[in-house]
Chains A and B, each alone.
Chain A
Amino acid sequence: MDDKGFLYNEKHLEFKNLVIKNARIICPGPIPEIQADIEIENGIIKSMVSDLPIGDIAQYSPIHGNEKIKTNNRRVLIDAKGMVVCPSFMDMHVHLREPGNEDEEDIESGITAALHGGITSICCMPNTKPPVDNQYLVKYILQASVKKGFKVYPVAAMTKKLEGAELTEFGLLKECGAAAFSDDGFCVQDAKLMYEIMRYAKQFDVLLILHEEDYNFSKSGIMHEGYFSAKLGLEGISSLSETVMVARDIMLAKKTKARIHFTHVSSMDCLELIRMAKEDGVSVTCDVTPHHLCFDDECLEHYGTNFKVNPPLRSKEDREALAEALNSGVIDAIASDHAPHIEYEKNTTLKEAAFGVTGMETLFAATYSELVINRKFSFQKYLSFLAQAPYKILGLKSPEIKPGNTAEFVILDLKKENLISRDFFFSKSLNSPFIGQKLTGEVMCTINNGKIGYLKI
């Protein structure tokens, strides 16, 4: 038992019967909220009624001294008064680092971090060592996550060894469980090869998740090219690095009718291209990261390595445009691009430091603070970016809170403010740009696969 109150895998809490009292249930989209007690038996939602009889409350005793979480040794009772219950989140862009870099993260620690972030489904990217470009690694990841009772959707490489030269076995990989295909972290530079990839993806009706970067614009770059890179004397990465590839791939997708998804979009110009492509009927979706929504290139003024990401944090105008594009529906989803790095890869000079930040655990609080608190998005609309759109993009059914379904939801405290410290995290890595930031909103409990995955005491 960790004093942070993490109960994942705690055998003594695996009760047949779980009741969430006083749940205020809010779902994405224009569905009215419900006030009910949720009764869960053997992992399935049995009933959702007001004033569910729970017997004599005096028979229950608090767990770890918390009056809101009680048990009578047959049933666990969680009082959600003052909080909000929502379908749990999907993070469609995560680096689990297993196999190869288990010192940074592994499947188990990644699942722990996900549950802490209110996430019950993740897509993991194939740039492990060795990369996920074969059936054996896809099966390995699926088996390891099934063992933990958690839904990991492996994304397989589009090209062998992520080298951007030869296609992987799309058909076989799909059959053994690859949820999508991506060379994330790399971008296929050869337009003709990309065209072949899209044609083949169309044949198997698989989704391509695209990291867009023209290396001629980005190589040796450290941060966004603009006012601050000029001031700081750092090599810039022009927005054109992303834009020219987005333009290319929209044209290829239009021609091939492949389903493509641009991940971690960062620049305003590519948003305009995506908007037009959607209007034009091209099958394109995209996501944005919490860090691109919450920070811009000014954050690098003090050369902090936890603001070094790829694509880079863009200008203030780009950041505004990203929020606006979420609001207008050009951007479909939010994904963290959770990229754990070991301490020494970040505790160095900006030039030497690795690109990437962790993000699953702050996914909710960071984006809730930025979008709902600061930018006044409606909560239900906001929820769709985390709890609806990612499932839809992957062609999966999003979890619904209703009787007969497996319980899969989060309990959120929308008022709690936290100063994020290094102690906050369960991930093996601590390279978060949100350390030292005050965020509003906290995941109190994550119910995954009918069981308590995370519970804050």
Chain B
Amino acid sequence: MLSVKNVIDIADLSVDDINLILENADTFNEVLERDLKKVPALRGKTILNLFFESSTRTRISFELAAKRLNADLINFTASSSSMKKGESIIDTIKTIQSMIVDLLIVRHSDSGVMDFISRNTGLPIINAGDGKHQHPTQALLDLYTIKKAFGDFKGLKVSIVGDIINSRVARSDMLLFKKMGMDVTLVSSSMLLPENLDYFGVNVRNNIDDIIETADVIYMLRMQLERQERKYYPSINEYNRFLSLDFKRLQSMKEGAIVMHPGPVNRGTEISEAVMNSEDTMKQKIKINEQVRNGVAARMALIYLILTTG
């Protein structure tokens, strides 16, 4: 049983909760190997995928997770809704509440919108990404991916590289990785970092070369140009010099170390073409596609546990 009804902020989950989710993810991962990739665990439950901000991979991942648990899932996207006709968010939420569903999976471009929806509906909520705040299920699937690669977390050196200030993934990952006993370093530049990082208790470096040989996990972030009013960073050349993962850097990583990225990758910005196209032993380091795959199992585990808690 989980100790919480909602997963809005990754910090709300206890270590026991997290281990329980990871164990269940293993079970459901096994289901995904089967010929018939479906279990009747949530028959009769209704889940609403409430996406106020566009998304493909996260939405589909949740949709697959729900369907493989036999739950009914309805997609709501802002572009097809009356939000476009000027309905206020509070009225949209009240309308949705009246439709009687069991679980909301919500994505929104404003940080903190989950608290607002939760206060106004009382329904369980899974945060599928809110503004620059958090993306807890991404963090869980990332953790699950690390678990599969290393088995344990204690003392692992993780570096999160790139556009931290705009990244909800980074905020959730930092908190979760720290909680599980990993040593977290951010590699970024002044304009891509929040002014005050005290809450996260992490180390900061400005050059990827500082950590490339010692890190167990290099977590490359997407340069979120869509969240920037103007370009924060001088140039891609400068980015490549200090913050990108190129083939030479990939080769200098220690044995067993892995590369992750929440996707979609800006080829040539945070990760070079050569790295993306690498083969054989180098390719094994790159876990980007495995993260996507693990996302379905991790989300199945979370949905299952929330809908069978209490």
Taking a contact as CB atoms closer than 8 A, the residue among A220, A344, A348, A351 that contacts B111 in the complex is A351
Given contacts A350-B112, A351-B111, contact A233 B88 (CB under 8 A): no
Are A227 and B171 within 8 A (Cβ)?
Answer: no
Q: Is there a chain A Cβ closer than 8 Å to B133's Cβ?
A: yes
Residues of B88-127 at the interface with A, using a CB-CB cut-off of 8 Å, are 88-90, 108, 110-113, 115-116
Task: Please determine whether B195 and A349 come into contact, CB atoms closer than 8 angstroms.
Answer: no
Q: Which residues of A contact B216 (CB under 8 A)?
A: none
Taking CB atoms and an 8 Å cut-off, the chain A residues in 155-180 that contact chain B are: none
C-alpha gap A220/B227 in the complex (Å): 12
The answer to whether B112 touches A227 (Cβ under 8 A) is no
* Residues on A with beta carbons closer than 8 Å to the beta carbon of B68: none
Q: Is A225 an interface residue (CB 8 A)?
A: yes
B129-147, CB under 8 A of A: which get 1 and which 0?
Answer: 0111110000000000000
**Quick check: B195 and A238 within 8 Å, CB to CB?**
yes
Q: Is the CB of A233 within 8 A of B196?
A: no
Q: Is A220 in contact with B229, judged by CB distance below 8 angstroms?
A: yes
Residue among B195, B198, B200, B229 having the largest count of chain A Cβ atoms under 10 Å = B195
- Does the CB pair A234–B194 fall under 8 Å? no
A230 and B90 contacting across the interface, CB-CB below 8 Å: no
Q: How far is the CA of A347 from the CA of B200 in the complex (A)?
A: 30
A103 CA to B90 CA in the complex, in Å?
Answer: 20
**Which one of A226, A228, A229, A349 has the highest number of Cβ atoms from chain B below 10 Å of its Cβ?**
A349
**Taking the complex as formed, is B168 at the interface, i.e. its CB lies under 8 A from any CB of chain A?**
yes
Q: Please tell me if A352 contacts chain B, counting CB pairs below 8 Å.
A: yes
User: In A181-234, which residues have CB < 8 Å from any B CB?
Assistant: 220, 225-234
**Binary contact track B69-99/A, C-beta < 8 Å → 1, others 0:** 0000000000000000000111000000000
Cβ of A303 < 8 Å from any Cβ of B? yes
Please indicate the chain B residues that have their CB under 8 angstroms from the CB of A356 in the complex. Answer: none
B229: chain A residues within 8 A (beta carbon): 220
- Of B90, B112, B198, B200, which one neighbours A234 at CB under 8 angstroms? B112
Q: Is the CB of B89 within 8 A of A232?
A: no
Contact with B along A336-355 (1 / 0, CB 8 A): 00000000100111111000
Find the A residue at minimum CB distance from B197.
A230
Tally chain A residues at the interface, Cβ within 8 Å.
Answer: 23
Residues from chain A with a CB closer than 8 A to the CB of B130 are 233
B132 in contact with A234 (CB, 8 Å): yes
Q: Which of A228, A234, A348 sits near B116, CB closer than 8 Å? A: A348
Given contacts A350-B110, A350-B111, A351-B110, contact A233 B134 (CB under 8 A): yes
Q: A233-B168, A349-B113 are in contact. Are A344 and B194 (CB under 8 A)?
A: no
Closest partner residue, chain B, to A233 (CB atom) = B133
Whether the pair B198, A352 counts as a contact (CB closer than 8 A) is no
Complex Cα–Cα for A351 and B53 (A): 15
Tell me the bound Cα distance from A76 to B185 in angstroms: 73
A236 within 8 A of B: yes
Chain A residue nearest to B115 (CB atoms) is A303
Distance A352 CA – B90 CA, assembled complex (angstroms): 11
Contact (Cβ within 8 A) B111 A234: yes
Bound-state Cα–Cα, A229 to B88, Å? 25
| Interface hits, B154-204 → A, CB 8 Å | 168, 171, 194-200
Q: How far apart sit A430 and B229, CA to CA, in the bound complex (Å)? A: 34
Q: Is A397's CB within 8 Å of the partner chain B? A: no
Residue of A225, A228, A230, A303 touching B200 (CB-CB under 8 A): A230
The CA-CA distance from A306 to B31 in the complex, in Å, is 48
Query: In the docked arrangement, what's the CA distance between A401 and B133, Å?
Result: 55
Which B residues lie within 8 Å of A302 (CB)? 115
Cβ proximity bits A240-278 to B, threshold 8 Å, 1 near / 0 not? 000000000000000000000000000000000000000
A227-B198, A232-B111, A234-B132 known; A303 and B88 CB under 8 Å? no
Partner of B110, one of A231, A236, A352: A352
Q: Once the chains bind, are B198 and A348 in contact (CB under 8 Å)?
A: no
By a CB distance below 8 angstroms, the chain A residues around B199 are 227-228, 230-231
Residue of A nearest to B112 (CB): A303
- Distance in Å from the Cβ of A315 to the closest Cβ of chain B? 9
Contact B115–A348 (Cβ < 8 Å): no
In the complex, which residue of chain A has the Cβ closest to the Cβ of B171? A233
The reply to whether A226 and B195 form a contact with Cβ atoms under 8 Å apart is yes
Q: Which residues of A contact B131 (CB under 8 A)?
A: 233-234, 351
Q: Which residues of B contact A (CB under 8 A)?
A: 88-90, 108, 110-113, 115-116, 130-134, 168, 171, 194-200, 229
Which residues of A pack against B, CB within 8 Å? 220, 225-236, 238, 302-303, 344, 347-352
Nearest 6 Cβ contacts at the A-B interface? A233-B133, A303-B112, A230-B194, A233-B132, A351-B110, A233-B111
**Between-chain CB contacts (< 8 Å), 11 pairs:** A225-B195, A227-B196, A230-B195, A230-B200, A231-B199, A232-B133, A233-B130, A234-B111, A234-B132, A348-B89, A349-B89
20 additional contacts, CB 8 Å, given A228-B199, A348-B90? A225-B195, A226-B195, A227-B196, A229-B196, A230-B195, A230-B198, A233-B130, A234-B132, A234-B133, A236-B195, A303-B111, A303-B112, A303-B115, A344-B90, A349-B112, A349-B116, A350-B111, A350-B116, A352-B89, A352-B110
